[in-house]
Structure 1
Amino acid sequence: MPSNSRDSAPAAENQPERTGAQIIVDTLLDLGVEVMFGYTGGVVLPLFDRLYDAPIRFIIPRHEQGGCHMADAYARASGKVGVVLATSGPGACNLVTGLATAMMDSIPMVAFTGQVRTELIGNDAFQEADTTGITRPITKHNSIVKDVKDLERTVREAFYIASTGRPGPVLIDLPVDVEVSKYAGNGKVETNLRGYKVRPKGHARQISTAAEAINKSERPVLYVGGGVIIANAAEELRALAEKAHLPVTMTLLGLGSIDQRHPESLDMLGMHGSAYANYAVQESDLLIAVGARFDDRVTGKLSTFAPNAKIVHIDIDPASISKNVHVDIPVVGDAKYILTELTKEVEHRPREAWFARIAEWKKKFPFKYDGNAGPIKPQYVIEEVCRQTNSDAIVATGVGQHQMWAAQFYRFTRPRQFITSGGLGTMGFGLPAAIGAQIARPDATVIDIDGDHSFNMTLTELATAVQYELPIKVCLMNNGYMGMVRQWQELFYGRRYACSYLKNPDYAAVARAMGAAGITVDKKEDVPKVIEQMLAEKRPCVVDFHVEAEENVWPMVPAGKSLNEMDGLDILERLI
């Protein structure tokens, strides 16, 4: 990343005159960009023409939304900034869902969008849209560049803003005349954003106060969000949990921040989290939140959330502190730095009674399903995938029941292993996300655990995976329903399944038509051998598992209920 000091830029002779498009490409190369995603169009042709000779790998999706999700997942899997490019009007508008997804999950991404010539802006020119106006609420920052002299500075600032503090997507709108205008420049441009200062070091006294609270607590819980993974602070988290002997529960996006096979792990908490995590939070006397934002799917009924706990909140974003839940000990700063300092001051406490209580809950309410039933259970498929990959695959998902089963039954062992849409809950995310993750990690086994309705939304991107010879695997939990909607209709709407069922195509045939491998599985006994076959495939492979149509995700905290008021616990108890 460039220095945050424009004033220290060295003097230099004027550079050769370059077009705006060439300035962008040169700046991207200087920033270390190796991969871009996007779709061409009239007003971005000058930029594409300069990219033609550049040593940047360019991935063309079948739809701009897919490309945006690919850039997002590339960032999640690699820790780098994802970059996406689209043309004006409909091309830019097609990025909206992807940008909103990245914004909600704090993903570093830079989007370039084409725009009509500056003198035509506001005249309803062909393929004109107010891109900056449309995307302002769903980006961390955005701007339109109307002078080629501002171009390099704007690009460098975009990457700096996207990747520092609480990360997020940044958009740059590019009128076509700026792309073709020429400018010589005056040496390397540095960024100096006077109104944007990132302060990674937390206040020493607040860190000490948090350590004192941990040392005094009898029933503490570490509540970990995606911010720990963003901060590359998993090792520091593990060190703190082991030294202070703290149980750790994770949000959906926090999965992988600690090895779920470790005894300290309480797995996921929240609406479809583990009963033992939810009970532990509700009975805790100290809740240490790290890189988490207390969203509604985690807290349940706010007024009864962790009623006996003092709350420590560690976050890089001061706006997140006490936004949803009152915080007793705020610590603003980078999780990696703060966890390191906190570990120095905490003491080891055995907390035998607390861990014994947690062990009772784990024994009584494990994640469980009826494995003796006739139809294929989606949980069984995911367990078998986990077994055969030895918990080592990168897993992407769409959104719905299959996403929750993946979170419950795949054991994540490391950061950047689970690639899923959290805050926005974007159906269709799984397949393009698997593509982006595979490009970021060509050495890894990447599996999209998807639902049929989610897969339907972006299945054309399978052709992208075939074109670029990406050996992604797709495990479809095909129950014919929009599963989570159907579950709510069953529980709260008297089984009136309004508009939640669709007739699906033959997915295996569709996959083969696109050049991928396609397999259909109807029998439970065929599941292990087909997964083995799928993992051995060197090309994209879609396996269509016809699973139990009305299987539900348990446990479940109904909307408006407290975390300890979970439905389905009686079902889990009967299955032990």
Structure 2
Amino acid sequence: MKNDPNYMSGAEIFFECLRRENVEYIFGYPGGAVLKIYEHLYDVDFLKHILVRHEQGAVHAAEGYAKASGKVGVVLVTSGPGATNTVTGIADAYMDSVPIVVFTGQVSSHLIGNDAFQEADIVGITRPITKHNFLVRDVKELASTIKKAFYIASTGRPGPVVVDLPKDVIASKCIFKYPEEVDVRGYKPTYKGNSNQIKKAAEIISKAKRPLLYVGGGVIMSGSSEELKIFARENKLPVTMTLQGLGAFPGTDPLSLGMLGMHGTYWANRAVDNCDVLVSLGARFDDRVTGKVETFCNKAYKIHVDIDPTAIDKNVIVDLPIVGDVKHVLAELAAEMINPPDTTEWLEQIEEWKNECPLDYEKNDGRLRSEFVIEKIFEKTKGDAVVVTDVGQHQMWTAQYYKYNHPRSNITSGGLGTMGFGLPASIGASFAVKDRPVVCISGDGGFQMNIQELITAVYNKLPLKIFILNNSFLGMVRQWQELFHQEKYSFTDLGNSNPDFVKVSQAFGIESYSTDNPNEVESLLDKAMSINDRPILIEFRVVKEDMVFPMIPSGASISDMMVKRLNPKRMI
């Protein structure tokens, strides 16, 4: 048996499984419990290990890679604190349905439960925030477990899977056999929608006077952007997108209404409030979209297409559910649409709303504004960049002012709203995308949460364009404090405690610039776009008191949408 070439250690089996899953990159950080794996990694040549500087950064990088490529992102960390440092990233991936597999080291099997050095029950800790997780008890189960992990992460509604690897399992040996097929009891995703329901949906859409497509991230995950474009254009159906759905339909298309919801466009939200048929494609009716559920889109007949049956009727009761993969359902729905609806008057009404309340900001006072910077980034990239944002005001302004023309171009933390996501996720995206610029837009608050990953970008010579919109505030929290908390700016003013971002980034070896002059924005962006062999960082010192509008207050109805500041005197 020992002379059999398939007689392998757990560490060897680990890499043979990754090879068969066509893994290109693994984002990780070594430690005691995974030293045997790193020993073998030293001689592995079919994948590249990316050394991050914090395990949370590893998971966000894997998310960025997965979102940009459509492939499974892979993470490797050690036990105890190495594993627990991944929790925020895993929760983020769970909320946004990102396919990643996180391998965590674990103490030897006989020590589990003994409070051994660097032991943590990562399976128990992550059970509520994973699609599934495994503790491998026997090396003979390792190959089949890894196969299942990749299958579960990438099929159906994608999501994170954790595989916990005890030290003795990694060191033990057995005959390696990789299963060709996977059979997970109770897990059978439905890909084809019910044909009768699809026919009924086509009939209802055909008769609609004011139809609206409400598109979520599921359209991008299923690779159905082309089907969506054909369906919307052939039937002249307006399209509004969630934050995660941006890019599923070209933002510059006349049928695009941009984003809906709390900070969605005025006309998208008015369209939602006045449509007679709402077709939800791969979206989950989350609270940032619906606001007050009782008043959300209550004039419309609601059709919901989703591969996850648990998402149907979870937040909003719909009239016609269709469980299935959006790509399959859209193709079948298009085939059934014999008579497209007459949307001429409806589109004219939407155009009136656009003219009634366009996206706008102060342009004539000589001060630098975030919206202006984002507009210029869009002009320079022509909507053809992969844009990774952190979380906060800059995230919402980017969603409003950057017109995404391609799927997998908008990478952001939606459901969990994780500050610190932007920089490591843009690093992951840079490994996935070679033919387009990768732009990281971050606020000064979130940027500091994973600032250590600058060295990862430098070491790997990634051509990242890092733009910090520095308003010296935790801007979105400040906005809520002004509007809803008596203007008590409690611990959100960072003006006296922010570092000099140029000096910090220069210490990491990054060419860096800073400006608060609108006239310098274009030339600095040109410089950033011209550098393609290393990262560059530009700090834009923007107006600190600006707020994101439109805004629907949390739990309020679309009719409560605010389109401007309540007290203009607050403009300093």
Q: Does 1:266 align with 2:276?
A: no
1:531 aligns with 2:521: no
For residues 274 and 561 of structure 1, the distance between their equivalents in structure 2, rounded to whole angstroms, comes to 16
**Matched residue of 2:161: which SS?**
strand
Query: With structure 2 as the length reference, what TM-score do the two structures score?
Result: 0.96
**Structure 2 residue 413 is matched with structure 1 residue 418:** no
Separation (CA, whole Å) in 1 of partners of 2:396 and 2:253: 21
Give the aligned partner of residue 20 of structure 1: 10
Q: Is the 8 A contact 1:153 1:190 kept in 2?
A: no
The residue identity in structure 1 corresponding to 2:400 is Q
CA distance in 2 between partners of 1:517 and 1:541 (Å):
5
Instruction: Provide, for residues 422-444 of structure 1, a one-character-per-residue CA deviation record: whole Å limited to 9, x for no partner.
Output: 00000010000110001111222
Indicate yes or no: 2:351 matched with 1:359: yes
Give distance in 1, aligned partners of 2:133 and 2:463.
Answer: 35
Counterpart of 1:195 in structure 2 is: 186
Matched, 1:513 2:507: yes
Q: Quote how far apart the aligned CAs of 1:189 are.
A: 5.1
Alpha-carbon distance between aligned partners in 2 of 1:187 and 1:68, rounded to the nearest angstrom: 26
Which stretch has the larger CA shift, 182-191 or 158-167? 182-191
Listed one character per residue, the Cα deviations across residues 260-304 of structure 1 (whole Å, up to 9, x for unaligned) are 111110100000000000000000111000000000000011100
Alignment of 1:461 onto 2:453: yes
Q: Which digits, 9 at most, give the CA deviation of each residue in 1:442-493, with x for residues without a partner?
A: 2220111110000010111011000000010111110000000000111112
Deviations 1:146-203 (A, max 9, x none): 1000000000000000000000000000000000000014564532113211220001
1:144 to 2:105 alignment: no
Show the 5 A alignment for 1:468-487: 468-487=460-479
Residue identity in the other structure for 2:110: E
- 1:41 aligned to 28, 31, 50, which one? 31
Which of 444, 463, 470 does residue 452 from structure 1 map onto? 444
Q: Which residue, 409, 418, 427 being the options, matches 1:435?
A: 427
Contact persistence 1:365–1:569 (CA under 8 A): no
Matched, 1:214 2:208: no
Aligned residue for 1:438, secondary structure, equals: helix
Contact persistence 1:21–1:46 (CA under 8 A):
yes
> Equivalent residues in 2 for 1:299-310 (5 A)?
299-310=290-301
**Conserved 8 A contact 2:292-2:556:** yes
Q: How many residues align?
A: 559
Choose the corresponding residue for 1:96, options 79, 84, 87.
Answer: 87
SS at the partner of 2:558? coil
Say yes or no: does 1:117 pair with 2:111: no
Q: Tell me the equivalent position of 1:555.
A: 550
Task: Specify the alignment match of 2:240 in structure 1.
Answer: 249
SS at match of 2:513: strand
Matches for 1:349-428 after TM superposition, within 5 Å: 349-428=341-420
Q: Percent identity?
A: 52
Structure 1 stretches of 4+ with a deviation exceeding 4 A read: 186-189
Q: Quote how far apart the aligned CAs of 1:560 are.
A: 2.2
Alignment match, 1:292: 283
Seen in structure 2, the aligned counterparts of structure 1 residues 192 and 501 have a Cα distance that, compared at 3 Å, is same
Match of 2:569 in 1: none
- Where does the alignment leave 5 or more consecutive residues of structure 1 unmatched? 1-12, 572-576
Matched residue SS, 2:397: helix
1:545 aligns with 2:537: no
Three-state SS of the structure 2 residue aligned to 1:46 is helix
SS of residue paired to 2:349: helix
- Post-superposition shift, 1:561? 1.3
Change (3 A) 1:186 1:454: closer
Q: Is contact 2:144–2:179 with CA below 8 Å preserved after alignment? A: no
Q: Is the 8 A contact 1:15 1:187 kept in 2?
A: no
Q: What is the CA RMSD across the aligned residues, in angstroms? A: 1.2
Aligned in 2, Cα 1:20/1:570: closer, same or farther, shift over 3 Å?
A: closer
CA distance in 2, matches of 1:309, 1:435: 42
What's the counterpart of residue 204 of structure 1? Answer: 195
Q: Secondary structure at the match of 2:560?
A: coil
Q: TM-score, normalised by structure 1?
A: 0.96
Counterpart CA distance in 2 for 1:164 and 1:345 is: 27
Return the alpha-carbon distance in structure 2 between the equivalents of residues 39 and 516 of structure 1. Answer: 23
- 1:146-165 alignment, distance < 5 Å: 146-165=137-156
The SS at the match of 1:414 is: coil
C-alpha contact 1:14 1:187 (8 A) present in aligned 2: no
